[in-house]
Structures are given as structure tokens and as C-alpha cells.
Amino acid sequence: MRKLLITLTTFLFINLVHAQADNTKFIPSGKPFMTLFTNYHSTFIKNSNYNAFELQRAYFGYAVNFSEKFSGKVSVDVGNPGVGKYQMTANFKNAYIQYRADKLTAKFGLLGLTQFELQEQLWGGRYLFKSFQDEYKFGHSADLGISASYKFNDYFNADVAITNGEGYKSLETDSIFKYSVGLTVSPIKGLDVRAYYDYIGNPTAQQSIAIYAGYKKDKFYIASEYNKQLNHSRNKGEDLSGVSLYSSYKFKKFRLFGRFDQLNSAILTDSLISWNSANDGQAIIAGIEFEPVKGFKFSPNYQAWIPANNSAIKSSIYLSCEIKF
């Protein structure tokens, strides 16, 4: 981490000096930002229920524009690690330099990935529930590496990335890289179709395939995605697959939304045998969202998990909030 920060700081300084020398009219600028996800929920399983207030996640950071083409971003992610004795831990989520000129965008450092970025943007409810690939561990939202995207025209965009493959919480555990490529086609206004593939190997290769289609017009959107991962976590024959469907309609003072997920696991030699049956199932999410002022959203919503192994259904009533500036 120390070497990374020294490298990034040097790179930032060199480009800042260069940008100022080349463009004396440009005035560098930056601003801090913060995002909080919090909720109150009541969960029912069989004849029991429990209630809780929860601070799910907090992001703190600073974004800066060094020149018309160079910018940078540093952010810290504070959240529940899900393991160990700590309730909250902090990790660097982003620490990168970005170059954008004409149709090319390139990033280097600890950067946000494009694997499910388009899906997450259209879903628009990260504070409610993660997008499919993020929720079920098909990939990471950020990682250390380099990425580039090129917009050929209004109809076609391509992106590639080479990253550590371990995510932003485990920056360097081996010398194996993850290679990713994505293609996005927009044949008509409002319609995006995306195909994505990634590969990380040695000795057993994990491969991910995702197909997405989303349509947005005025206050309405609808989207679907299919995801397949071979050799999940590089465990031979342990595959994951699933679909996600989501839609929303925005009225004058609120929006209605709904979503359905289905996650399946199988052993390669026998599609009827599940290696992950305890986590297979279906998710249902529906609710209403209000945004009384810019930067503050809250949503009463219902979330259900229906296990595939016929165990008890988990139903929850949430009051979810996002605070952002």
C-alpha cells in the first residue's frame, strides 16, 4: 500500500505540473464527497422475528480535476467485513488517476470496474440491495490495475481491464491477473445491450460471462441480465448462474421499483447436483422511493429470500436511506 501511494502521488504531481504548463487557462479544482447507507428493518423467519438499526456502509473521499484531461479520485469504504470480531472496517475503495480525451477514457490504480457498472447505474438502488453480480460474488466493484474504454460512436463502446482479481480488500495475494473485456451496443435511444467476459486462471481458470439488456425512456426503465461463472473462486466444476429482472417507474414525487433474482449452482458433471445449495434461491424486492431534497433518498421496501432447499422463507420490511453529497 505504501508503494502504491508513493507511485500514485508521484504520478499525480508530474501530471499536475505538466497540465498547468500546457494549459494556463485551466484552474484545477476538487471537492470532498460522502455517501452513507443506513436502514431500519424487521425480519420474519417462521414464527420468530428480529428488528435492527443498521449502518451498512459509508464512503468518504476526494475527487480532483488536474486539467481538462487528467483527474483523480481517492475514497475510503467503511463497512461490515462480514467475518471476524470487527463490526466495521475501513479499506481504500479508490485511488486512481484518470485520463479522458475525446473518445478514450483510461484509469490506473485502485479503480472502479465496469463489470456491472451499467447494471448498477440503471438499478439505481445500491443502498437498497447490491446489483446481482456484486451481491452474489461474481466479481468485485473495484480492484488494483489498469482499464480503458473507447466510445467508437453513439452506438458502440468497448472496454478492457487487467487487474489483480482479488478486489479492493485484498490488493495483492498472488501474481495471477484477471483479464476482462466488455462490449456495449446502443442500437436505439434508451436501449443498451452489453456482453461481458473475464478470465482469471492458473491452475484452475475462473471464467465469467454476462449478458445484459436495459431500456430506459422518460420515467420508466426495465432491464434483465443473465450471468454465468465457471469454476467459482477457481474451484474446479463449481459453477454459478442466475438471472435478474428489475424495473421502475418514476412519478412526480416518488418512484416505484421491483426486482427478481434467481441464483443457481451446479457441479459441472451433473447439473442436478448443487454444491452451494445453502445459498441458492430467489430474491424479491419491491418498494417506493422518495427524494424530498437532492442528496437524500429514503425507501420503505419489502425484501424476501426464498431458499432453493425448501427451508424457511426470510421476509423483511425495510426503511432504507441514502445520504449523499
pLDDT score of 318: 98
Asked if 216 and 205 count as a contact pair (C-beta separation under 8 A), the reply is: no
* Range 183-190 average pLDDT: 96
Which of 320, 227, 242 minimizes the C-alpha distance to 283?
242
Residue 177, CA distances (Å) to 132, 143, 165, 311 in order: 23, 11, 6, 38
Question: Higher model confidence: residue 203 or residue 287?
Answer: 287
Binning pLDDT at 50, 70 and 90, where does residue 107 land? very high
Q: What percent of the chain has pLDDT over 90?
A: 74
Asked if 74 and 60 count as a contact pair (C-beta separation under 8 A), the reply is: no
pLDDT score of 109: 93
pLDDT score of 1: 43
Range from 76-85, 232-241, 316-325 carrying the lowest mean pLDDT: 76-85
CA–CA dist 323, 306 (Å, integer) = 30
Asked if 298 and 320 count as a contact pair (C-beta separation under 8 A), the reply is: yes
* Range 68-86 average pLDDT: 85
Binning pLDDT at 50, 70 and 90, where does residue 172 land? low
CATH domain 2-318 topology: Porin (2.40.160)
Q: How far apart are the first and last CA of the chain?
A: 28
pLDDT at 15 over 60: no
CA–CA dist 280, 139 (Å, integer) = 17
CA–CA dist 125, 233 (Å, integer) = 27
* Range 281-290 average pLDDT: 98
pLDDT at 96 over 90: yes
Question: Residues 28-62: pLDDT tens digits?
Answer: 899 999 999 999 999 999 889 999 999 999 999 99
Q: In the Cβ-directed half-sphere of 157, how many Cα atoms lie within 13 Å?
A: 16
* Range 148-177 average pLDDT: 88
Q: What is the mean pLDDT of the chain?
A: 89
Question: Higher model confidence: residue 201 or residue 245?
Answer: 245
Question: Higher model confidence: residue 76 or residue 21?
Answer: 76
